[in-house]
Amino acid sequence: MEATETLLDEHEIFAMLGGLGTPTHESVIDDLNSEGVPDLFVSSGTLQWDQPAVYPYSYGFQVDYTKEAKIQGDYLAENFAGDDIGLLYQNDDVGPSTHAGIEQYLIDEIVAYESYDPGVPELAGQVAELKAADADVAVCSCVPAYLALAVTEAAAIGYEPQWVAPSWSGDVAVATELIEEHAEGTPAENIPPEAFLDGLIITAFLPMVEQSDDPWTQFFQEIHDEYNSGTEFTDTTVYGMVQAVLFAQLLMETGPDLGREALLQTLEEHDLEGPGLVPFMATENDHSGYSGVMVVQHNAGEEPDVLQEPMITDSDGGEITDFDLDRPDPDDVELFN
């Protein structure tokens, strides 16, 4: 809140881009909207950013938790029929939002609901409960740090479910680095860190760093190598770069006569095409952002297997469908002149 007050009052910012986190952004969204500051591409999957009547200046970015969980649930119901499912989730809006999606396709199959407090770095009890419930599949609606902790705890007690993670959890490079830290001094410390997430099923709405043939991954890799060398190139890096690409497109479309209302009018009237694998929604009545995900399986040291091509859905009870998307290459998108 203090940082945003400084940005608004002292720096008089034109817009905010990529505000991070649900509780942090909840605390500032009213101020941004009351002052008419464009609040673009919020970095959180909660549904509240998509409330044009309440927050007309706020727009989501990543696929929301419910849409993503619907596609997860549908995929698991079809491909893991007969298996018991355990849910491990963050104890905030993530829980109700993901349950609203996954329970449309899985009810009787769910044998455990285990939550964690993001302020408490402890999952031994929750993972033990998943094992005790004989959950064959463990869906971890967790930030990467808690995905890393969960798989480490599971290895320590000999629990080997099929792990499933959403887009906002499944940055394998980040999680693997954390796994190495968590495993030190435990029964799991002799397992190669990369082995913990081998076979992890991930839902994703952006190209992944392991998908080296994707033209946008190649484009981002080139930028990273030139301007950010010496640091690891991760899916989180791509996430930020995609936000930058969308914002650059938006500025180019708006043109030199730049104003806040002109910016938002351009956002709602023009399709932002480019890196995303699914359509990006930003209209007068829909501020939700990306509208679906693909399903992939991580293979350590290799490109991921695409288990299901990208699909889209809504945040209610609508169907999951395929779609047509004319996804341009980087050379086809004007980002500067």
Q: pLDDT tens, 38-53? A: 999 999 999 999 999 9
Which of 175, 204, 233 is the last residue in one of the domains? 204
The band of 62, judged by pLDDT with boundaries at 50, 70 and 90, is very high
The band of 84, judged by pLDDT with boundaries at 50, 70 and 90, is very high
69 and 110, same structural domain? yes
280 and 159, same structural domain? no
Q: What is the pLDDT of residue 119?
A: 86
* 197 Cα distance to chain centroid: 17
Contact 64, 47 (CB under 8 A): yes
The residue range of the domain holding 123 is 65-204
What's the DSSP call for residue 130?
H
277 and 188, same structural domain? no
Is 84 a domain residue?
yes
Q: What is the pLDDT of residue 189?
A: 84
**Residue range 200-209: mean pLDDT, rounded:** 98
Is 234 a domain residue?
yes
CA distances from 114 to 37, 134, 282 (A): 38, 13, 34
CA distances from 107 to 84, 100, 101, 181, 311 (A): 10, 11, 11, 35, 22
Q: What is the pLDDT of residue 174?
A: 93
φ, ψ at 66 (rounded to 5°): -70, -45
Mean pLDDT of the chain: 95
For residue 238, pLDDT beyond 90? yes
222 and 169, same structural domain? no
The band of 299, judged by pLDDT with boundaries at 50, 70 and 90, is very high
| 212: number of Cβ within 10 Å | 11
200 and 82, same structural domain? yes
Percent of the chain with pLDDT over 70: 100
69 and 186, same structural domain? yes
Is 250 a domain residue?
yes
Which of 204, 237, 270 is the last residue in one of the domains? 204
How far is Cα 225 from Cα 269, in angstroms, rounded to an integer? Answer: 34
The band of 181, judged by pLDDT with boundaries at 50, 70 and 90, is confident
> How many Cα atoms are found within 13 Å in the side-chain-facing hemisphere of 291?
21
81 and 149, same structural domain? yes
- The residue whose two tokens read 């079809």 is 78
146 and 226, same structural domain? no
254 and 156, same structural domain? no
3-state secondary structure of 249: helix
Contact 234, 210 (CB under 8 A): no
Which of 204, 233, 259 is the last residue in one of the domains? 204
**Residue range 66-89: mean pLDDT, rounded:** 98
Q: pLDDT tens, 266-286? A: 999 999 988 999 999 999 999
Q: What is the pLDDT of residue 336?
A: 87
Q: What is the pLDDT of residue 44?
A: 94
Q: What is the CATH number of the domain that holds 146?
A: 3.40.50.2300
78 and 10, same structural domain? no
176 and 83, same structural domain? yes
Number of domains in the chain: 2
How far is Cα 138 from Cα 130, in angstroms, rounded to an integer? Answer: 8
User: What value does the CA radius of gyration of the chain take, rounded to a whole number of Å?
Assistant: 20
How far is Cα 154 from Cα 146, in angstroms, rounded to an integer? Answer: 12
**Residue range 296-301: mean pLDDT, rounded:** 93
Q: What is the pLDDT of residue 277?
A: 98
Q: pLDDT tens, 2-39? A: 999 999 999 999 999 999 999 899 999 999 999 999 99
How far is Cα 273 from Cα 77, in angstroms, rounded to an integer? Answer: 32
How far is Cα 201 from Cα 217, in angstroms, rounded to an integer? Answer: 20
Is 337 a domain residue?
no
> How many Cα atoms are found within 13 Å in the side-chain-facing hemisphere of 314?
5
How far is Cα 118 from Cα 130, in angstroms, rounded to an integer? Answer: 18
Q: What is the pLDDT of residue 323?
A: 95
69 and 179, same structural domain? yes
The band of 118, judged by pLDDT with boundaries at 50, 70 and 90, is confident
Contact 201, 151 (CB under 8 A): no
Q: What is the pLDDT of residue 186?
A: 81
Contact 92, 320 (CB under 8 A): no
3-state secondary structure of 314: coil
How far is Cα 292 from Cα 324, in angstroms, rounded to an integer? Answer: 13
Q: What is the pLDDT of residue 53?
A: 97
How far is Cα 16 from Cα 38, in angstroms, rounded to an integer? Answer: 6
Q: What is the pLDDT of residue 170?
A: 92
Side chain identity at 324, as an amino acid letter?
D
Q: What is the pLDDT of residue 182?
A: 81
**Residue range 167-174: mean pLDDT, rounded:** 94
Side chain identity at 105, as an amino acid letter?
Y
| 108: number of Cβ within 10 Å | 7
The band of 150, judged by pLDDT with boundaries at 50, 70 and 90, is very high
